[in-house]
Amino acid sequence: MPISVTRDRPTVLIRREAFERVGLERHLIDSRFNLTDQEFAVEGGLIAIGPLPSDDLLSDLVIELETIGLRYFDDFFELSGNWPEWLGIFAATA
């Protein structure tokens, strides 16, 4: 089932295999970025973090993911949440 992505705030999509490869743990991300249960979703091979509470957290999260060894675009990708209201976006692994 695809994950619905919110249009007005950024969401980071991470390949589940990459998340597990570097030993990331959900509770660490939740506490570091003050996320709720609704801001972390897992579906098949995809993990969605967001919508982030603020745009400012996006750069911090990207830096943290790159610091632990994940590669932007190969392992994770951010959707800025900047598209028209009439467009709905759903994400899933290919």
Pairwise CA distance, residues 63 & 19, whole Å: 15
Whether the full predicted model's pTM is greater than 0.85, yes or no, is yes
Pairwise CA distance, residues 56 & 75, whole Å: 21
Do 5 and 94 contact (CB within 8 A), yes or no?
A: no
- pLDDT given for residue 75 in this prediction: 96
pLDDT mean over 69-89:
90
Average confidence score pLDDT of the chain: 89
Pairwise CA distance, residues 48 & 91, whole Å: 9
Q: Using 50, 70 and 90 to split pLDDT, how confident is the model at 20?
A: very high
Residue 88 has pLDDT above 80, yes or no: yes
- pLDDT given for residue 82 in this prediction: 80
Pairwise CA distance, residues 91 & 79, whole Å: 10
Pairwise CA distance, residues 88 & 7, whole Å: 8
